[in-house]
Amino acid sequence: MRRRCRESLEEWKNSSKAQVLTSIYNRLREDTNLALKQRKKERVSALRLILAEMKRVEVDEREEISDVRALQILDKMTKQRKDSYAQFFAAGRNDLADQEKFEIDVISEYMPNPLTDSEIEKIVAGSIEKLLEPSMKEMGKVMADIQSLVQGRADMKDIAILVKKKLS
């Protein structure tokens, strides 16, 4: 009886391998520990907020977060913070607006370098050239193609405006 229990325990230990973490997720955890050691309360709070959101998505989707998914999460968080910043600033709540701005700055540290306007135009032009007959009906295909190339590096609203101009 004991032997079976030990065997099943050993099997369980071997089957529950350590989770392989993404590089962005690893950087976030390491930076959180560093900020804790340096006693930077605001930075720790912002980093924990990011980690909590990633963990929530990981639990909801029941799969590990890839770097691509992490960038999507960070991009969404940035958009939310920018919207909140604008609302707080308009309402005259500068203390809350400053907090949102700080969180945007922390999140942007983990985002890739933004694309320049000329780089965006080249990507859009290249994506449109792939089409046999470019028209507004094909905008969804163009946007899907572009999104995978510019994830987290450009605002999709600006790209949509550019694609509409080119397809019109």
pLDDT digits (tens, 9 = 90+) for 128-141: 888 878 888 888 88
In a domain, 1, yes or no: no
In a shared domain, residues 104 and 122:
no
CATH label of the domain that carries residue 58: 1.10.1510.10
Amino acid at 82: K
User: Which of 61, 89, 108 is at the close of a domain?
Assistant: 108
% of the chain surpassing 70 pLDDT: 87
State the average pLDDT over residues 123-128.
88
* Residues ≥6 apart with Cβ < 8 Å to 74: 24, 50, 107, 110, 111, 152
In a shared domain, residues 32 and 104:
yes
In a shared domain, residues 124 and 75:
no
In a domain, 56, yes or no: yes
Nearest 5°: CA angle at 148, between 147 and 149?
90
Query: In this predicted model, what pLDDT tens digit does every residue of 66-114 receive, in sequence order?
Result: 888 898 899 899 999 999 999 999 999 999 999 999 999 999 999 988 8
Domain ranges, residue 70: 20-108
CA distance 24 to 71: 8
State the average pLDDT over residues 47-55.
96
In a shared domain, residues 74 and 151:
no
In a shared domain, residues 24 and 86:
yes
Whole-number pLDDT of residue 115: 87
User: Which of 86, 108, 130 is at the close of a domain?
Assistant: 108
In a shared domain, residues 89 and 131:
no
Number of domains in the chain: 2
User: Which of 87, 108, 129 is at the close of a domain?
Assistant: 108
Q: How many CA atoms lie within 13 A of 131 on its CB side?
A: 21
**Residue 5 — pLDDT band, cuts 50, 70, 90?**
low
pLDDT over 80 at 30, yes or no = yes
In a shared domain, residues 52 and 101:
yes
In a shared domain, residues 98 and 24:
yes
